[in-house]
Amino acid sequence: MKVFSIIIYSFLIFLISCQNDDDEKKSNACNSNELLETFITPNGEEIFIYKDGKLYTNKNGLCNFEFQYFEPNFLEENYVINGSGSFLKNRTGLFPTKNNFIENFENTSVFTDLFIHSLADTDLYWTNITLQSPATPTVSEYDALSKCIFDGTCSFIDNKIELISDPINASNKVLKFTSVPPIANMVTSKSSIASTINFFTKDSNIWYKADYYIESGIPFSIVDFENSYFFQSPGPRVIIRDNKLEFENKFGAKLNIKNNSSITVPKKQWFTLKVHLKYSNENDGVIELWQDGVQIISESGINLPTSNSIQNVLEVGVSASSEGCVLLFDNMRISETSF
């Protein structure tokens, strides 16, 4: 049976192509009333995104088509929304989206049993893994590794994800992410799990909480809230910078929200991360973060790529790292309401 996460992934991928047609390069689309979003990147480039999903830059007074940021019919192509809720389309049926879930790993003994494998697995949440490493640096290579791990025809190579006993409490089961350093031609290394069955839209709230234990090294990002239908899976993420938890937008003008407290991330000690986001593509978005019950970030600002974005992915673990690291993870909770 094919892994359900691979089926989901197959219809999430869309072709990003740059068009070189002179007429389109000189289009007056920048003046169109079909504009969806506009912003200026950190390097000063002016960006225009339109309702048809096309992205343009303003260079030397000309609007230049760059690429298809998203397919305009991505919602209709991938979802059915009715009085019963929102459902992911699949070749064999519909699967309900899920914005509320608790995971503590206590009822699972085999790692692959954590993941959705069929339309009947509505009690599960996780859909895929990412193991980007020197052994599998490209998308095609780590996707192939993921598939054969789920098929049972291979095992982990350098980056690993394992169910282990808690080093502090042997009776507790936790997830261990091991990520080796990226090589020179790699941007990052990854060892993470994700769910692609969320459905968070503008003005919706997401509450997230989990326990983390850094055994060695320091990962750059440890939880990402993404949209897999848009180019480069944009969304906000929690990062560790200067040994402090902070927020970063992985899109647009790259909003960074600093942690001005004196609270740092400990090593070889469990700490609890809690996040609250109210999604908005405008400055009224809510961005809150707590460490061990102490609020260290409370800001308003943009945290949604575009007004029509659907944040369907939660990625946890070592979701990006420039060094080798080992991270333990436990007691994850995600919800539409506060807790």
The pLDDT assigned to 268 comes to: 97
In this predicted model, which residue has the larger pLDDT, 4 or 197?
197
The pLDDT assigned to 121 comes to: 97
Q: What is the largest CA-CA distance in the chain?
A: 66
| φ/ψ (deg, to 5) at 143 | -70, -40
Q: Which of 217, 31, 151, 3 is nearest to 90 (CA)?
A: 3
The pLDDT assigned to 61 comes to: 80
pLDDT of residue 135 exceeding 90, the answer is yes
Q: How far apart are CA 208 and CA 338, in angstroms?
A: 9
Q: How far apart are CA 94 and CA 87, in angstroms?
A: 6
pLDDT of residue 201 exceeding 50, the answer is yes
Q: How far apart are CA 101 and CA 111, in angstroms?
A: 18
- The confidence band for 157, taking pLDDT boundaries of 50, 70 and 90, is very high
Q: What DSSP assignment string belongs to 17-78?
A: -----HHHHT--GGG-TTEEEEEE-TTS-EEEEETTSEEEEEETTEEEEEEE-S-TTHHHHH
The pLDDT assigned to 149 comes to: 97
pLDDT of residue 11 exceeding 60, the answer is no
The pLDDT tens digits for 297-320 are 999 999 999 999 999 999 999 999
pTM confidence score: 0.90
The pLDDT assigned to 241 comes to: 97
Half-sphere exposure of 1 (CA within 13 A, CB side): 9
The pLDDT assigned to 24 comes to: 45
Using DSSP's 3-state secondary structure scheme, residue 166 falls into coil
The pLDDT tens digits for 112-121 are 999 999 999 9
Stretch 280-302: mean pLDDT: 97
The pLDDT assigned to 339 comes to: 95
Contacts of 140 (CB under 8 A, 6+ apart): none
User: In the numeric block, which tokens belong to residue 18?
Assistant: 């740059």
In this structure, are residues 279 and 307 in contact, taking their beta carbons and an 8 Å threshold?
A: no
Q: How far apart are CA 262 and CA 41, in angstroms?
A: 30
Instruction: Name all contacts of 36-43 with Cβ < 8 Å and 24+ positions apart.
Output: 36/306, 36/307, 36/308, 37/252, 37/281, 37/305, 37/306, 37/307, 39/252, 39/253, 40/253, 41/252, 41/253, 41/254, 42/253, 42/254
- The confidence band for 147, taking pLDDT boundaries of 50, 70 and 90, is very high
Contacts of 274 (CB under 8 A, 6+ apart): 207, 208, 209, 289, 290, 291, 293
DSSP run (H or E) holding 144: helix 139-151
Q: Which of 9-13, 151-155, 251-255, 277-281 has the lowest mean pLDDT?
A: 9-13
Overall fold of domain 80-335 = Jelly Rolls (2.60.120)
The pLDDT assigned to 26 comes to: 47
The pLDDT assigned to 148 comes to: 96
- The confidence band for 96, taking pLDDT boundaries of 50, 70 and 90, is very high
Q: Measured on CA atoms in the order 130, 134, 136, 140, is the torsion positive or negative? A: positive
Stretch 252-261: mean pLDDT: 94
Stretch 204-222: mean pLDDT: 98
Looking only at the bridges linking them, the beta strands covering 173-179 and 325-335 are antiparallel
Domain ranges of the chain: 11-68, 80-335
The pLDDT assigned to 30 comes to: 78
Q: How far apart are CA 264 and CA 175, in angstroms?
A: 23
User: In the numeric block, which tokens belong to residue 185?
Assistant: 């031609």
Stretch 166-178: mean pLDDT: 97
pLDDT of residue 12 exceeding 70, the answer is no
The pLDDT tens digits for 27-85 are 555 777 799 999 999 888 999 999 999 999 988 788 899 999 999 999 999 999 999 99
Stretch 192-203: mean pLDDT: 98
Stretch 232-253: mean pLDDT: 97
How much of the chain, in percent, has pLDDT values that exceed 70?
Answer: 91
